Amino acid sequence: MTLNYRAIAGVAGFLIALLPSPRLLMAQPSAYPMPSSNFTYTSPQPSVSLGSQIGMPGRSLGLEAICGSCQLEKFTDECVGRLEGPSFDRDGNLWMVSPATGSIFRVTPSGHCEVVAQTPAPNATRFARDGRLFGVDNKLGVFWLDTKTLKVTYVTNRYRTENFHGLDDLYFDRAGGLYLTDAYGSSVLHPQGQVFYLATNGDVRKLISGNLAFPNGIVLSPDERTLYIDDWGSNRIIAVPVRSPGELDVDSAWVFAYLNGGRGPDSMTIDSDGNVYAAHYGAGEVDVFDSHGFYYGAIRMPAGAGMVPSNVTIHGGYLFITEMDQHTVWRVRTKVRSVNQWPE
């Protein structure tokens, strides 16, 4: 076979001509400028350097800095019902609810309990700075209780033309607004849980619409720049940056912590250093994390004390824990102060 070299050379030259110029292969300036943000968010910072707390990232911090030996003691078992929503008033009385019985309880500093009011299905309570006890009822929405007359006043159960699915928890910011978790009817296979904000003028805003398996406990960081949400149905805690009262940067949300075992984080509290305490429903413990999501450890319920801690709150140098199955309130001494609830 005779090769036609002249034809081959012609084809090669044609193919070379099709290649782009070397200058075109060089990186070209982007036609899209780097976006800038008008909102500067800094993740929660620990009160001491991170290195001094944890050494190598990912290690357990240990509970010594939180509660020493962490020995729990029984505070009261007089309140009969599946206990939720512990809150302390200025006089040191503990207020709680039971969605199973519809009871609102008042417990004296000595541990004596009495039922003082009823709503159909109360789930949680928080004190406003004016002394009123606010709560959520998973059937009738937001209410408040006059702790002197014991009269219940219902505030709202609606967002625009829709009823809430069933509110579970609430948390006040310093502006006086309420963050609300709307959980009922949602699950890990049907995630439609929501988060709302009730402003002081009565306006209700929807902050998170769906995608939460069962949003339960909710708290703000001490500087109120991060909102923590217990997603009970997915056994995790979610953190969302706060732009301003009632305005979230949902696109920058992240998973703050995953929990192991049990059912999921029920309700939670936070201390003045930004440490997060989550009552781990079905695990018989309270899980403690620093402001970066690093794990201090689990404060375990005593043997035989039940496996269903539901809520936690800090008061008077103690962490108080409500346990549902045995309608008992436990407490353990803590080394970190609570976030100041009452104005000076």
pLDDT tens digits for range 135-164: 999 999 999 999 999 999 999 999 999 999
pLDDT, one tens digit per residue, over 197-209 is 999 999 999 999 9
> Mean pLDDT over residues 11-25, rounded?
52
> Mean pLDDT over residues 311-336, rounded?
96
- CA separation for the pair 116, 24 (Å, rounded): 80
**pLDDT at 20 (0 to 100):** 54
32: DSSP letter: S
- Domain assignment present for residue 186? The answer is yes
**pLDDT at 60 (0 to 100):** 77
- Domain assignment present for residue 341? The answer is no
**pLDDT at 176 (0 to 100):** 96
Sign of the dihedral defined by the CA atoms of residues 85, 153, 108, 98, in that order: negative
User: 11: helix, coil or strand?
Assistant: helix
- Domain assignment present for residue 2? The answer is no
User: 309: helix, coil or strand?
Assistant: strand
- CA separation for the pair 49, 246 (Å, rounded): 31
Residue 109 predicted with pLDDT over 70:
yes
Structure token pair of residue 16: 């070379």
Lowest mean per-residue pLDDT among 17-31, 182-196, 276-290: 17-31
- Domain assignment present for residue 190? The answer is yes
Residue 13 predicted with pLDDT over 90:
no
- Domain assignment present for residue 28? The answer is no
- CA separation for the pair 206, 242 (Å, rounded): 14
Q: Which residue has the tokens 């004596």?
A: 112
- With 0-12 / 13-18 / 19 or more C-beta atoms within 10 angstroms meaning exposed / middle / buried, residue 171 is buried
pLDDT band at 56 (very low <50, low <70, confident <90, very high): very low
pLDDT, one tens digit per residue, over 224-262 is 999 999 999 999 999 999 999 999 999 999 999 999 999
- Domain assignment present for residue 41? The answer is no
- Domain assignment present for residue 65? The answer is yes
Give residue 111's domain range. 59-333
120: DSSP letter: S
- Domain assignment present for residue 276? The answer is yes
DSSP line for 226-263: EEEEEEGGGTEEEEEEEEETTEE-GGG-EEEEE--SSS
| CATH for 167 | 2.120.10.30
**Number of domains making up the chain:** 1
Residue 340 predicted with pLDDT over 90:
no
Strands 178-182 and 167-172: antiparallel
Structure token pair of residue 261: 């075992």
